Amino acid sequence: MTEMPTISVTELVTAFKEIVEATLPPVIVEGEISNCKRSATGHYYLTLKDDHSEINAVIWKGAAGQLKFQPKDGLQVLATGSLQVYVARGTCQFNISRLLPQGVGELELAFRQLKQTLEAEGLFDAARKRPLPRIPRRIALITSPTSAAIKDMIQVMTRRWPGVNLVILPVPVQGEGAAARIAKAINFVHRIPDVDVVITGRGGGSLEDLWAFNEEVVARAIANCPIPVVSAVGHEVDVSIADLVADRRALTPSEAGELVVPAVDELRQTLNNSVTRMHRALAGRVERMQLTLKAIAGRNVFQRPMTLIDERRQRCDELGIAAERAIQLKTERLGQKLAATAASLDALSPLKVLARGYSLTTNGDGTVVRSVNDAVVGQDLQTRVQNGVVYSTVQRTES
């Protein structure tokens, strides 16, 4: 019996790795994503499964950066890749180099996912949309400097407003890195003096051509721009993420030019209409004031001004006479009241008592002598009678 060789675990797994990876070429696997997780380093770890089997899979950071959409549990996908054996654990996983969703295009799915995310954050809300200035001081155009779109916008704006002030920030509008360049220009535009409105966009094209304006970096740059932004991407049927986030959407680049500047002829007509209305309003007011002044001038007081003075003078005389009568009447009533009070006081006067033969005797300190006990021999007394005072000295007293 031939002896079997003895090998290490590492040698076994390594041999398995060489056989598997060499035997099975890259394939496209159809399945459903589950247990999808993204690591802090940017790799995706997930499981591909069907009704009967499942296999661990990985999307390394480089390949993940090329994805337009976010891998999520439940997505049916076509995964292009090859089997890899992880020697350290002896496990097999599918290394995905490209991932495509089934049932919907890759870009369409990415559009839906980003739209759902930004809508949940409120970036599409009408309440955060800002009005455009009526007459902008300077307009910034963020687009390709050689495109037909910028020529259309410039032609429309200069025709409507010959004195328009434009500044162009040239950027690529499609291809690799276009979205980052557009976002960088939007983030920079507020540093340009006097710019108070921004237009960004491009002419029509396929979904792939317009994709730079569906990138999250452009959407967030528009949302964070301190200056109102008009999005003019493609044609009327083309709705981009930039259109939904912008303060105003233009159906075409030409319409964007119409939105940001007024037509000088229309503005002139508006001003003329305003001047006409002001003249009519002022003329009507002057006419009403003239009628009011005429009515005031026709009043009797202006026709015979001395009549009013004579009436006021007569009224003053009447008031003076009435005042004199009131004072006289008041004086008479007060005199009568005083006489009555005097009569009452006179009736109560002790002099009346003295007139009937009575007298009032007091000692030196004014105390009334009411009994013989109040008088002391040798004491001086004062006796008041009706017509004067009698001064005496006590010689003796009797009870």
The DSSP annotation for 145-157 comes to TTSHHHHHHHHHH
Mean pLDDT of 326-340: 90
How far apart are the C-alpha atoms of 340 and 298, rounded to whole Å? 61
Amino acid 176: pLDDT: 87
Mean pLDDT of 321-340: 90
Q: Are 225 and 207 in contact (CB under 8 A)?
A: no
* Neighbour-count burial of 335, counting CB atoms closer than 10 A to its CB (0-12 exposed, 13-18 middle, 19+ buried): exposed
- Residues of the chain with pLDDT > 70, as a percent, come to 96
Q: Which helix (H) or strand (E) holds 262?
A: none
How far apart are the C-alpha atoms of 165 and 142, rounded to whole Å? 14
How far apart are the C-alpha atoms of 244 and 257, rounded to whole Å? 18
Within 10 Å of residue 150's Cβ, how many Cβ atoms? 24
The pair of structure tokens assigned to 189 is: 């535009």
Residue 152 has pLDDT above 60, yes or no: yes
Residue 296 has pLDDT above 60, yes or no: yes
356 confidence band (pLDDT: 50, 70, 90): low
226 confidence band (pLDDT: 50, 70, 90): very high
Mean pLDDT of the chain: 87
- Largest Cα–Cα distance in the chain? 186
How far apart are the C-alpha atoms of 382 and 349, rounded to whole Å? 19
How far apart are the C-alpha atoms of 397 and 381, rounded to whole Å? 13
| Interhelix angle 148-160/253-260, nearest 10 degrees | 30
Residue 299 has pLDDT above 60, yes or no: yes
> What is the tens place of the pLDDT at every residue in 241-265?
999 999 999 999 999 999 999 988 8
For 112-262, CATH gives 3.40.50.2300
Residue 182 has pLDDT above 90, yes or no: yes
Mean pLDDT of 14-26: 81
CA angle 39-174-80, nearest 5°? 45
Spell out the residues 6+ positions from residue 249 whose beta carbon is closer than 8 angstroms to its own: 230, 231, 232, 243
Mean pLDDT of 135-157: 93
Amino acid 354: pLDDT: 64
How far apart are the C-alpha atoms of 78 and 61, rounded to whole Å? 18
Mean pLDDT of 18-23: 79
Residue 143 has pLDDT above 70, yes or no: yes
Going by C-alpha positions, the residue among 250, 253, 238, 244 that lies closest to residue 107 is 238
Strand spans (E) along 89-194: 91-101, 138-143, 166-170
Query: What is the phi/psi pair of residue 307, to 5°?
Result: -60, -45
Looking at residue 39, its amino acid is S
Amino acid 181: pLDDT: 96
How far apart are the C-alpha atoms of 84 and 127, rounded to whole Å? 52
Residue 353 has pLDDT above 80, yes or no: no
Q: What is the pTM of this model?
A: 0.56
Strand spans (E) along the chain: 27-38, 44-49, 54-59, 76-86, 91-101, 138-143, 166-170, 195-202, 229-233, 248-249, 360-362, 380-385, 388-393
Mean pLDDT of 77-95: 86
Tell me the torsion sign for CA atoms 125, 127, 133, 137.
Answer: negative
Edge-to-edge order in the sheet of strand 380-385? 360-362, 380-385, 388-393
For 9-103, CATH gives 2.40.50.140
Size of the chain in residues: 399
Amino acid 399: pLDDT: 75
For the CA atoms of 282, 284, 287, 289, the dihedral, rounded to the nearest 10 degrees, stands at -70
